[in-house]
Chain A
Amino acid sequence: MLECREITKKYGRKTAVDQVSFCIEPGHIYAMLGPNGSGKTTLMKMAVSLVKPTSGAFYYKGQPVGVDSRREIAYMSTEPYFYNWMSAEDVGRYYQDFFEDFSMETYHALLERMELDPRTKTKAFSSGMMAKLKIAVTMARRAKVYLLDEPLNGIDLLARDEIIRSILEAANRDVALVISSHLVDELEKVVDTAIFIRESRLADVCEVEALRIMQGKSVVDRYREIYGHGGEQTC
């Protein structure tokens, strides 16, 4: 469905992503894991063509990603990106204007559940409220692939549950969800596959259940192996 083929991104002398290849299939929830600066965000941005790769490419349904794939791939950036003059209602209208799969009804329901007032200007939002707003507007789309970059950043425990609930509601056999986060233990409960990125390279792709049954390890254990001192490199 969404395929990453030997993709590399360099910023001057620094390599942000180095020869990474993997495939995202529908019906799965993926965790994209790795420490800060490992290349997770750059990978996600290349998947929606916000960032142009130095070499290699992302393909969606066999075609290079671009304008057409943006109709079916929903991306949520970790940083706030709405125009300052917008209220939460304006954000919804903007998405409705440009995305055919956006549901205003779902958006309003999500805003209500997250206790966000549609009339409030986004510039007045706290970081927690902004995180909720980003999730609400992204999950109000009926996309085929959701790429969520650090959706749990700066969110308190109770709000985290609400956000995870909203994310999981989108999960079905036709949809792929990719969630990047530092909060490995939080994600372990909801994902079925983990993609580990280390120092710009793909370190491992593990099925969570197989990891548990075959090796008796959790995703957290595997994370420690890969990123901890003396950790092994492959499953």
Chain B
Amino acid sequence: MLKLMKYELRKTGFAKLVLLAVTALSELSYLLGVFLKKDQLMYTGLSVLIFGASLGLFYIGIDSLLVFYRDLNTKQSYMLFLIPKNSYQILGAKVLENGISIFLSGAFFAALAAANATISILYVGGLREFLEMVQKMLRQVHIVATIDWGIVIATFFLILAVWLLAIVTGYLAIVLSATVLAGKRFSGLASFAVYVLLERVMALILTQVYRVTGPGRLLAGPILCIFVMVAVMYAVTGWIMERKLSV
């Protein structure tokens, strides 16, 4: 499994390198802005960091779906399906690599945000000044917000889990289009419809779980429920691949 994950990481490595390079540049811009007391440079760096973090996490998932599509629909599929590993192992490596990448990237951006906050507190002024600076920056891009950092962090991790579920559901839709719907008219459209339907059903389940557990257990209830749904999606996708997939 680790060897499979190593190659999955290599396949999606370029997108991650681009993300890392953009992050490094914007961080440099931010730090220069802080140390040289150039507001514009600092705001630009911070804006690109926030934008890059959100878009980057989104792109990591999309790239993983594109790689999976290629792995099933081009001759490169032989590289995966000729080796002595079953579909559950092949898919499991993809889900794990993607899940770890998303959560590590999320944690990395969260740590970077905390580091930047500390630097700002030390060089720009106190915590209050820093938060005012962030609010000022948000106002500049016409976002007026009152920030509750506890909710922000909890929601951040919930979003990462929801995003992982969306990707695993995407795997199922791609497998459906390559197996039971293969060769049929509108197979792409039909698998997308299945994807939308599944997302809707899972959103309804999550809403119910959230209502039962309440916001006090935001990280426990819904996230646990999401991981159960990820496991179900993984099992169903692996089962279809094992029995129906021809590459």
A-B contact count (CB 8 A): 54
CB within 8 Å of A: which of B112-167? none
Closest to A95 in B: B83
A98 close to B247 (CB less than 8 A):
no
Chain A: minimal CB distance from B88 (Å): 10
| Bound-state Cα–Cα, A126 to B6, Å | 28
| Bound-state Cα–Cα, A79 to B183, Å | 21
Tell me if A169 is interfacial: C-beta within 8 Å of chain B. no
Q: Which of A12, A50, A77, A82 has the most CB of B within 10 A?
A: A50
| Bound-state Cα–Cα, A79 to B6, Å | 25
A80 close to B246 (CB less than 8 A):
no
| Bound-state Cα–Cα, A79 to B76, Å | 10
B75 close to A80 (CB less than 8 A):
yes
B247 close to A50 (CB less than 8 A):
yes
Tell me if A67 is interfacial: C-beta within 8 Å of chain B. yes
Chain B: minimal CB distance from A58 (Å): 13
| Bound-state Cα–Cα, A176 to B195, Å | 45
B84 close to A71 (CB less than 8 A):
yes
Count residues of A near B (Cβ-Cβ below 8 Å): 25
Q: Which B residues lie within 8 Å of A99 (CB)? A: 83-84
A52 close to B79 (CB less than 8 A):
no
Q: Which B residues lie within 8 Å of A97 (CB)? A: 3, 6-7
Tell me if A196 is interfacial: C-beta within 8 Å of chain B. no
Q: Which B residues lie within 8 Å of A85 (CB)? A: 10-11
CB within 8 Å of A: which of B168-212? 183
Closest to A98 in B: B83
A94 close to B78 (CB less than 8 A):
no
B85 close to A98 (CB less than 8 A):
yes
| Bound-state Cα–Cα, A147 to B180, Å | 28
| Bound-state Cα–Cα, A82 to B79, Å | 7
CB within 8 Å of A: which of B209-232? none
Quick one: given A52-B246, A94-B7, are A81 and B86 in contact (CB under 8 Å)? Answer: no
Q: Which B residues lie within 8 Å of A79 (CB)? A: 75
| Bound-state Cα–Cα, A75 to B75, Å | 13
Closest to A68 in B: B84
Q: Within the complex, which residue of B79, B84, B85 is in contact with A94, where a contact is CB–CB below 8 Å?
A: B79
Q: Which B residues lie within 8 Å of A66 (CB)? A: 86
B75 close to A77 (CB less than 8 A):
yes
Q: Which A residues lie within 8 Å of B82 (CB)? A: 48, 50, 70, 75
Tell me if B81 is interfacial: C-beta within 8 Å of chain A. yes
Q: Within the complex, which residue of B3, B11, B183 is in contact with A98, where a contact is CB–CB below 8 Å?
A: B3
Chain A: minimal CB distance from B54 (Å): 28
Q: Which A residues lie within 8 Å of B7 (CB)? A: 94, 97
Chain A: minimal CB distance from B5 (Å): 11
B244 close to A52 (CB less than 8 A):
yes
Tell me if B41 is interfacial: C-beta within 8 Å of chain A. no
| Bound-state Cα–Cα, A83 to B79, Å | 8
CB within 8 Å of B: which of A65-109? 66-68, 70-71, 75, 77, 79-83, 85, 94, 97-99
B84 close to A52 (CB less than 8 A):
no
A81 close to B3 (CB less than 8 A):
no
Chain B: minimal CB distance from A124 (Å): 17
Q: Which B residues lie within 8 Å of A80 (CB)? A: 75
| Bound-state Cα–Cα, A19 to B244, Å | 20
| Bound-state Cα–Cα, A81 to B74, Å | 8
B244 close to A81 (CB less than 8 A):
no
Q: Which of B7, B11, B245 has the most CB of A within 10 A?
A: B7
| Bound-state Cα–Cα, A12 to B185, Å | 11
Tell me if A51 is interfacial: C-beta within 8 Å of chain B. yes
Chain A: minimal CB distance from B104 (Å): 22
Q: Which B residues lie within 8 Å of A77 (CB)? A: 75, 78
B75 close to A81 (CB less than 8 A):
yes
Chain B: minimal CB distance from A100 (Å): 9
Chain B: minimal CB distance from A135 (Å): 15
5 contacts between A and B (CB under 8 A): A67-B84, A71-B84, A79-B75, A85-B10, A98-B85
Extra pairs beyond A79-B75, A80-B75, A98-B85 (10, CB < 8 Å): A11-B183, A50-B247, A67-B84, A68-B84, A70-B84, A81-B76, A81-B77, A83-B79, A97-B7, A98-B83
The 8 closest A-B pairs by CB, nearest first: A81-B78, A98-B83, A51-B246, A81-B75, A70-B84, A79-B75, A71-B84, A97-B3
Q: Report which B residues bind A (CB closer than 8 A).
A: 3, 6-7, 10-11, 75-79, 81-86, 183, 243-247
